[in-house]
Amino acid sequence: MLVWRTRPVKLIPGKHSEIPLKAISEKELPMGFKQELLKKIQIDRLTEKILATIGPSGSEQKVDKGLLRVLLEMAEYHHHRERDLDIYLPRIASGKTHILVLDNDLPFYNTTVSDIAMRKSPTLKEMVNIRNAIKILNDSDVVVSKKADSVKTVRNECLSLLNLSFSAEEIEAIAVDGAGSLEHGYADGVQECLDMFAELLGYQPAPKAFKADHHRIIGAVSQKETGEIVFGPIVCYSLIHSRLFAVLPAIGSFDRIRMEGYLEIMNGAEKPSFTGAEVFQFLNDEVNRRGYSMWRNTANGHNLSP
């Protein structure tokens, strides 16, 4: 269950940037929430990679079973070898239950291990039985899902194990951590904090029209009925110059004047809306204003909502 306890917070420029990174991570930032949020991001990225390996029905494209095994372990499934089948059972399993067979179709079955073994890897004695033969030829009565739907099921079970409740102070601590990383030139720390805020706010990578080389650019993305892409608020981080800035309000891809202004900001000819630690203050305020839903994001065209 997600809990949002609202309280106005304020980053103090200069003061926060002087806090040592070690002190920020150990004292200011409660490790429980940060690690749970980073784990959620890891789960979604792993899910994206697995979904990208799934081909259409009947194709010879092989799903990445190694990655799926990692996701199954995160969902606390345990492996069971039955005949020549790799079977994964949920944390609490007894008799007829939700069971995944790790093959290229990734079927989830609502039945017993012995029934799956008979259907998927029958012995000669089992095949000559008329009743069994019908089951072997048609498993639609026990198959719950396959392929992408099964991967999403495992992903959602991973998420059900996370505790993503948080307070305004915990979000402020992420902003302070990001500001400190920026001040000390710690690019990985800046990007990790941007990852967390992108997750919290549902921000996505920049659409093609807004991309720039050697920049990490994220923001809210929407599309009008006309096909125009609307992007923003926009947060940009220069990977070369360690320059962080934000552009507001949102920009439509068909708005030539605003697009030209955006390019001027990217080139340093015009001032952005926020720079440096101000960006993390803005992101902090946005989470404070909007709250967080862990089902908000989509990935690679796949709707990951339950």
pLDDT of amino acid 139: 87
Confidence of residue 257 (pLDDT cuts 50, 70, 90): very high
In the chain, the largest separation of any two C-alpha atoms, in whole Å, equals 79
Q: Where are the domains of the chain?
A: 4-28+166-290, 46-159
- pLDDT digit string (tens) for 208-218? 999 999 999 99
Q: What is the pLDDT of residue 290?
A: 86
Q: pTM for this structure?
A: 0.80
Q: What is the pLDDT of residue 55?
A: 82
3-state secondary structure of 184: coil
pLDDT band at 76 (very low <50, low <70, confident <90, very high): very high
259 CB burial (10 A radius; 0-12, 13-18, 19+): middle
Total H helices, total E strands in the chain:
11, 13
Name the DSSP class of 246: E
Distance, CA of 134 to CA of 130 (rounded, Å): 6
- Token pair 């601590």 is at which residue? 173
Tell me the percentage of the chain whose pLDDT exceeds 70: 83
Whether the per-residue pLDDT at 223 is higher than 70: the answer is yes
**Across 198-224, average pLDDT:** 95
Q: Confidence class of residue 126 from pLDDT cuts 50, 70 and 90? A: confident
